């Protein structure tokens, strides 16, 4: 027995659907959506990967690139093939047969999330830009004691390299931390040194992590310099 061969007309139509997935005059990909997006399950500590939404037309919308590590986010990651915006402004991720796999909608905060009632919720967000060295140091800092007891609020300016700047009181301070004559700061090795008007080291903090410094006062009491 031989299976019936498709008619030439049907074969040509099938070839057209594969070779020419979009019609001439189809709308272009929205520029605001192009580029890298962080893809994750909705949950603290969940795995993430980076999707790349591209402008090239393909079956089901526009080209979507999902690296292998996206299998840690969704098991069917290798089926992610295309993306498109539907009529009500939702972002659809589809497979090569145009089947919608995930539908994201934008909420009031600007975040994109799936709205399916069943299954795992997913999130899409733009990659955050790493802070510059200057941004990491400039701004508000709090001095606190163990247990988070507030001692003083400071404001730091910073040079472009994040190595020195001015310091001034920026809020309430306990009596012991008032009028210390601090005027500037500098980084030296792993230390952040607070200087007086003569450029002398008045207090020194040792860096604990990227946003925390530790210092000691009389009696070896530990204090912390942290972001609010």
Contacts of 60 by beta carbon, 8 Å cutoff, 6+ apart:
21, 81, 82, 84, 94, 95, 96, 97, 98, 99
In this predicted structure, the answer to whether residue 82 has a pLDDT above a threshold of 50 is: yes
Q: How far apart are CA 90 and CA 94, in angstroms?
A: 12
pLDDT digit string, tens, across residues 155-182: 999 999 999 999 999 989 999 898 889 9
CB atoms inside a 10 Å sphere around CB 17? 10
Is residue 124 within 8 A of residue 91, CB to CB? The reply is yes
Question: So what's the pLDDT on residue 108?
Answer: 79
Residue 209 lies inside a defined structural domain of this protein:
yes
Flag whether 186 is in a domain: yes
139 and 221 within one domain: yes
Highest mean pLDDT among 51-60, 106-115, 145-154: 51-60
One domain, residues 138 and 221: yes
Question: CATH number, domain at 168?
Answer: 2.40.128.10
Query: How many domains does the chain fold into?
Result: 2
**Residues paired with 41 in a beta bridge:** 122
Among 125, 144, 159, the domain boundary falls at 125
| DSSP code for 163 | S
Domain membership flag for residue 17: no
Between the CA of residue 73 and those of 79, 108, 110, 168, 227, what are the distances in Å? 13, 25, 21, 46, 32
The confidence score (pLDDT) of residue 137 equals 93
Structure confidence at residue 113 (pLDDT): 93
The rounded distance, in Å, linking the Cα atoms of 10 and 62 is 26
Selected residue with higher pLDDT from 218 and 99 = 99
Q: For 4-14, what is each residue's pLDDT tens digit?
A: 444 433 433 34
Biggest distance spanned by C-alpha atoms of the chain:
100
In a domain, 61, yes or no: yes
Average pLDDT over residues 82-98: 94
Q: Which residues, including other chains, have CB under 8 Å from residue 218's CB and lie 6 or more apart?
A: none
Q: Domain residues for 58?
A: 30-125
Residue 45 within a domain:
yes
């Amino acid at each position: 027995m031989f299976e019936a061969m498709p008619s030439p007309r049907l074969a040509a139509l099938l070839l057209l659907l594969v070779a020419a997935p979009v019609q001439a005059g189809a709308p272009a990909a929205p520029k605001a959506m192009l580029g890298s997006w962080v893809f994750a399950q909705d949950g603290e500590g969940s795995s993430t990967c980076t999707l790349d939404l591209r402008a090239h037309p393909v079956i089901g919308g526009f080209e979507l690139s999902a690296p292998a590590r996206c299998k840690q986010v969704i098991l069917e990651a290798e089926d992610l093939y295309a993306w498109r915006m539907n009529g009500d402004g939702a972002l659809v991720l589809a497979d090569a047969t145009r089947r919608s796999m995930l539908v994201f909608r934008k909420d009031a905060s600007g975040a994109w999330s799936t709205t399916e009632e069943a299954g795992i919720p997913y999130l899409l967000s733009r990659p955050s830009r790493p802070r510059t060295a200057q941004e990491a140091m400039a701004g508000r800092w709090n001095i606190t004691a163990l247990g988070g007891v507030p001692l003083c609020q400071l404001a730091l300016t910073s040079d472009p390299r994040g190595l020195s700047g001015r310091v001034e009181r920026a809020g309430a301070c306990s009596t012991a931390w008032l009028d210390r004559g601090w005027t500037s700061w500098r980084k030296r090795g792993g230390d952040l040194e607070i200087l007086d008007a003569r450029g002398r080291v008045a207090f020194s903090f040792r860096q604990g992590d990227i946003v925390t410094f530790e210092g000691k006062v009389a009696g070896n009491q530990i204090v912390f310099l942290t972001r609010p």
